[in-house]
Structures are given as structure tokens and as C-alpha cells.
Structure 1
Amino acid sequence: MLAEKVMEKAKPNRSLFNKVNVFLIKLPHLKAEDLLEMLTNVMFKAILIFGVPYFIYVFIKFLSIY
């Protein structure tokens, strides 16, 4: 009973764990170009997620000054 509850709570994390395991298995076989491409994709997504809302916030604050 308790083990089933723990397994249910861990279910969302299991897919992330599987993705990390697959990545770590593929890591030694990656070329430098592929690794750089993955890094640029992650950075691009981070800029979209964090940079664009921050830019909008700063722009609105700038407009509210005048």
C-alpha cells in the first residue's frame, strides 16, 4: 500500500529520470558539433522563457516613467 503511494508520487519524475539516463548513455558518443547544437538550443529556449518577459517588464517600466 505504501509502496504504491510512493510509486504514484514518483511517476512524474520517472520520465525525467529516463530522459536523463538516455542523455547520459549517449553523452560519450556525442560529437562536439551535436553537443554545441544542444547547448545553443537550451540557451535559446532559456532566453525565450526568461529574457522576453523581462524585456517586456523593463519596457513597461520605462514607459511608466514618462
Structure 2
Amino acid sequence: MTIRTLAEVGARLEEAVRSLPGDGHDLFDRYEMVAIQILDSEFPDFAPGLLERYLSAYLDLKRLELGSGPST
């Protein structure tokens, strides 16, 4: 497992969100939906907890970037 692999997860997340239809209003919801799909499909490929922590931090940063409110 390398940092590059986590970076690839982030790139796939961004690419998948860009390909989804919709406007910016529900953009964060789309990030969450895709992150969950990635977590469900790729969790065996990472050390326990690593992918979850990465995606959680990624979503926290996106929430701040998009002004979608505080973390829950």
C-alpha cells in the first residue's frame, strides 16, 4: 500500500463525481455517495481502517471547500 494508491482513490472519486449528472446544489451528496461505493468495493485492498480514514478526511476537506456545513 502506498500513498500513490490513496491518491489514485482520490482521483477516481473526483472523476466519478464529475461524470454524474446534476447541479452544484447536491455536489457534496454525490461525493459521499461515490466515497461509500469506493469504500464498499475496495476496502479489502487496504490495511484495516486506512481507506475509511482517508475517505473521511477527504470528505471533511470537500465539505469545507464546498461550504456544506460542519462535519457530523
Common fold by TM > 0.5: no
Larger Rg: 1
Which gives a bigger RCO, structure 1 or 2 (Cα 8 Å, sep 6+)?
Answer: 2
The interval holding the TM-score normalised by the smaller chain is 0.3 to 0.5
What's the TM-score, normalizing by structure 2? 0.31
